[in-house]
């Protein structure tokens, strides 16, 4: 899966939340946060369809749907972050969260539990 831009994430978030929808409905959902025009949203949908992120129906008005799941996209984003920033080291990523204080006590305990369960 290719890199998903922040703008593409916004479009996908709408499609995941609403399911298949026509351009006008997608525009209405995005407008308060983005201020994008109808043309801009249509351009994103067209590009995302070409990338395989969105599928467009043949009916009129055309309905667009996410062609990828949130889980697939999240996995791709995690792998991208891991490779780009941490050289593929999951341990370095987790250590950075722990060192930066980005984990609550409960999250640290959950992490310990998960690591303990993974040990063979």
Mean pLDDT of 91-97: 84
Return the CA Rg of the chain. 19
Is 120 a residue whose pLDDT tops 50?
A: no
Same domain for 51 and 18? yes
**Residue-level pLDDT at 1:** 64
Considering the domain architecture, whether residues 56 and 89 belong to the same structural domain is answered as no
Instruction: Please indicate, yes or no, whether the overall pTM of this predicted structure exceeds 0.85.
Output: no
Tally of domains within the chain: 2
Residue 104 in domain:
yes
Asked if 61 and 82 sit in the same domain, the reply is: no
- Kindly state whether residues 83 and 46 are assigned to the same domain: no
Greatest CA separation for the chain: 56
For residue 89, which of 78, 99, 98, 100 has the smallest C-alpha distance? 78
11 preceded by cis ω (within 30°)?
Answer: no
pLDDT at 46 over 60: yes
Tell me: pLDDT of 10 over 90.
Answer: yes
Higher model confidence: residue 81 or residue 98? 81
Answer whether residue 1 is part of any domain: no
Run of H or E including 96: helix 90-99
Is residue 35 located within the same domain as residue 88?
A: no
Q: How many Cα atoms are found within 13 Å in the side-chain-facing hemisphere of 61? A: 9
Looking at the fold, whether 23 and 49 belong to one and the same domain comes out as yes
Query: What is the residue range of 88's domain?
Result: 71-118
Q: What is the CATH number of the domain that holds 11?
A: 1.10.10.10
One domain, residues 96 and 46: no
Shared domain for 98 and 87, answered yes or no, is yes
Task: Name the DSSP class of 21.
Answer: E
DSSP conformational letter for 101: T
Q: Are residues 112 and 76 in the same domain?
A: yes
């Amino acid at each position: 899966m290719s890199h998903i831009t922040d703008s593409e994430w916004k479009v996908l978030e709408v499609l995941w939340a609403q399911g298949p929808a026509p351009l006008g409905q997608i525009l209405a959902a995005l407008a308060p946060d983005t201020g994008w025009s109808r043309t801009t949203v249509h351009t994103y949908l067209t590009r995302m369809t070409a990338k395989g992120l969105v599928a467009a129906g043949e009916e009129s008005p055309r309905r667009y749907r996410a062609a990828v799941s949130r889980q697939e996209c999240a996995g791709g984003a995690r792998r991208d972050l891991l490779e780009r920033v941490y050289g593929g080291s999951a341990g370095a990523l987790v250590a950075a969260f722990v060192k930066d204080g980005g984990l609550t006590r409960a999250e640290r305990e959950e992490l310990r539990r998960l690591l303990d369960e993974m040990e063979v």
